Amino acid sequence: MEFLITAITLGFLGSLHCIGMCGPIALALPVVNNTNISRISGIVLYNIGRVITYGFFGLFFGLLGKSFVIAGYQQALSITLGVIILSIILIPNRYLQKIPGVNRFFQPAAKIRNALSGLFKTRSYSALFSIGVLNGLLPCGLVYTAVAGAIAMADPLKGSLFMMVFGLGTLPAMLGLTLAGQKISMGLRNTFKKTVPVFVAFMAVLLILRGLNLGIPYVSPELSKTDCTKHNCCHK
């Protein structure tokens, strides 16, 4: 169950990023009334929506990862994911935007934001849940890192669990942000945002080490012959 520990650690430490990036959404949630119970219930429903979206992500990408393993590309997949994540962190944004197809990848986000703006006008628990579901679809570097982990799971169920536990790991920070309100300054949020790339880079390096099959327990475990036979990934 080490992968669940990794998932909740990624969510908990990465939630500093959520405070910086998702803070405005969390602070602007349309609470049903002004009681503390209502505010807590609203933020919990909002986060349940996010977790469900992440769960479907994990299911899909876990299945995708399984197809790579069956084809015998488990190590190459892990290394490639790690390199991609490191590249996104290290390459300046102005150069990333020049890569063909990158801007098109983010176009659906505009439609999602339009749908969110309509939901923010509705004060109901169903609207809060829907905001969470849609917010889980917005582009987010931290979520992409969790998706890479789900792919590396190479199993739909494990991938879904990984993503959902990752989402639950962000819950304490998001709940605290909502209750603290404007007491968390913008400067502090920006400081939180700066710490996350270091942790994400660490996760990317772990993915690369895992793919290198160095035989280091937990860090780069050696792919056994039994695993190879099971996934038909040994080639004579």
The per-residue pLDDT for 219 is: 59
Question: What are the structural domain ranges in the chain?
Answer: 2-231
Q: Residues of the chain with pLDDT > 70: what percent?
A: 71
Query: What average pLDDT does the segment 123-138 reach?
Result: 90
**In whole angstroms, how far apart are CA 53 and each of 16, 72, 81, 133, 154?**
20, 29, 21, 6, 19
Query: What average pLDDT does the segment 60-75 reach?
Result: 85
d(CA 149, CA 82): 10
Written as one string, the DSSP assignment of 80-124 is: HHHHHHHHHHHS-HHHHTTSTTHHHHTTHHHHHHHHHHHHTT--S
Alpha carbon 38 to its chain's center: 27
Give the residue with greater pLDDT, 161 vs 112. 161
The per-residue pLDDT for 59 is: 96
Token pair for residue 96?
A: 């990333």
pLDDT (tens digit per residue) in 1-10: 677 888 888 8
The per-residue pLDDT for 231 is: 46
Supply the pTM of this predicted model: 0.77
**In whole angstroms, how far apart are CA 221 and each of 85, 177, 213, 216?**
21, 38, 6, 5
Which of 82, 80, 59 shows the shortest CA–CA distance to 153?
59
d(CA 95, CA 93): 5
